[in-house]
Amino acid sequence: MTFHKVMSCLGVCLLAAVPVPPCLALQTGPQTLENLLNPTADDFDAAGSTPFGQPQRKPATEPQNEQRRGTPFAPPAKRLAVPDQSAVDEALELIHQAYEETIKAAAANPDSTTRSFCDTADKTADPARKFALLVLAERLALEARATSAALDVLARRAALFDIDALASRHALLAKVARADDIRPDALLFEHVAATARQAVAADRYDLADAAADLAETLAKAIEKDEKIRTAESRRKREPPPTPVAAKLVADATSLRKDVRERRRQAFEYTVARDKLAAFPDDADAAETVGRYLCFVKRDWPGGLAVLARGRNEGLRNLAAREVALSKEPQVAVTSRLKLANEWWKLAEAGDALAPEQAEAIKAHASGIYRQIANLLTDPIDAALARKRAKIADAEPPSAAVPEKPARRTLDSLLQGDGR
């Protein structure tokens, strides 16, 4: 079966979202499951910070492509509804009439045309025209085989309009991969792999599986093409192409394994969370929930209070101490240093911790070090804190936690924005 037939078999569909469970949060008062699932506004500061003002973090993911050309783009506070197709079609007809020569010249200078239409979309107040301009810019970029530019435009459109950004990104890349005149390359593979990682971070495992499938298919197609070109270069006694296929195939295998593991962890978390609802004193369920939130989702504000009720003594004691310290109006820098040191020591000891869990703990401790490094008076403590703070500096901060989270029930935890 040819590569293009394989790609046709994959199909492109907008996959239904796997709901994203909202974060559990720190809660004052008795540690009942009701309290853990329903945080109060007092448990968050205005910046949505963790204890001691440490910014909340999320798993490192591939950031969505941002518009890299033209005027700076600032997405609106609330996305617009997608215009009716009839209105978009009417707008496209007008745009083709108004910019006929520009569209004809797009093949010769796709970057300039894409940038021009994105800038024009920013200037028009009509939603249908704005949407149509971005659709056209995306299409022209694809026709010019400028996949990265097309992804930029799509990210811009998804920031402005209420569309499923991840599913649309996957559909675009699958369309590129199916094109008859496209030779799959490492950049296209990386775009697809990034989509799979983004889907995992959003708990959309069906979409992550589809993207991982596409990544694997691309890697195998690149491997086949590389073998053909290598044989041809030998026949012509020319230098062979730079080998990349072996690494891409290995990366695709690793990606599929990661997606499968994260799906398993999410399932175990859901089971444990439901069990904790029925049996609030279940230490095993609390530990599963706490480990998932802290180590997988990097949601330390939500996970610490639950982890403090878990089975593992070391994790339980440190989590409980941090929860207690977070409720004190003033915390001495020495207490914060001691807490960070003990988290770091626990991570390096590796007691019942997988490598990725130890890494998450170090990243958490690193955030504490970063905040206190300039407050420490002992030069050795300060030097060590600055050194260990580099881990936190390398991690991108997540979006802030809302200052006044809405009241949550167990049912609402299963509800989420799938976009």
Exposure b/e, 64-89, CB count within 10 A at least 16 = b: bbebeebeebeeeeebeeebeeebbe
Q: How many residues does the chain have?
A: 419
- Beta-bridged to residue 57, according to DSSP, are 397
Distance CA 351, CA 344 (A): 12
Nearest in space to 68 (alpha carbons), one of 195, 194, 162, 155 = 155
Over residues 281-317, the pLDDT tens digits come to 999 999 999 999 999 999 999 999 999 999 999 999 9
Could you read off the pLDDT of 269-285 as tens digits, one per residue? 999 999 999 999 999 99
Query: Rounded distance, CA 128 to CA 161, Å?
Result: 10
Give the model's pLDDT for residue 83. Answer: 97
CB atoms within 10 A of CB 319: 24
**Distance between CA 303 and CA 27 in Å, rounded?**
11
Write out the chain's pLDDT in tens, 419 residues.
444 443 444 343 333 333 333 333 333 333 333 333 333 333 333 333 445 544 444 333 333 333 344 455 677 788 999 999 999 999 999 999 999 999 998 888 888 999 999 999 999 999 999 999 999 999 999 999 999 999 999 999 999 999 999 999 999 999 999 998 888 899 999 999 999 999 999 999 999 999 999 999 999 999 999 999 999 999 999 999 899 999 999 999 999 999 999 999 999 999 999 999 999 999 999 999 999 999 999 999 999 999 999 999 999 999 999 999 999 989 999 999 999 999 999 999 877 789 999 999 999 999 999 999 999 999 999 999 999 999 866 654 443 333 333 333 333 333 333 33
Sequence-distant (≥ 6) Cβ neighbours of residue 135 within 8 angstroms: 88, 92, 157
Cβ pair 49, 235 in contact under 8 A: no
210 neighbors 170 (Cβ within 8 angstroms)? yes
CB 303 within 8 A of CB 290: yes
Taking alpha carbons only, the member of 25, 44, 45 closest to residue 35 is: 25
- Where in the chain are the domains? 3-8+61-262
d(C-alpha 407, C-alpha 284), whole Å: 26
Nearest CA to 62 out of 157, 194, 213, 255 is that of: 194
Nearest CA to 254 out of 222, 225, 206, 219 is that of 219
Looking at residue 36, its pLDDT comes to 38
Residue 364 and residue 303 in contact, taking contact as beta carbons nearer than 8 Å: no
Report the alpha-carbon angle 251-67-48, nearest 5: 80
pTM of the full structure = 0.73
Contact between residue 371 and residue 54 where contact means Cβ atoms under 8 Å apart: yes
**What are 22's two structure tokens?**
């909202």
230-280 pLDDT per residue, tens? 999 999 999 998 999 999 999 999 999 999 999 999 999 999 999 999 999
CB-based burial, 247-272: b 16+ in 10 Å, e otherwise: ebbebbeebbebbeebbebbeebbeb
Chain centre to alpha carbon of residue 387: 27
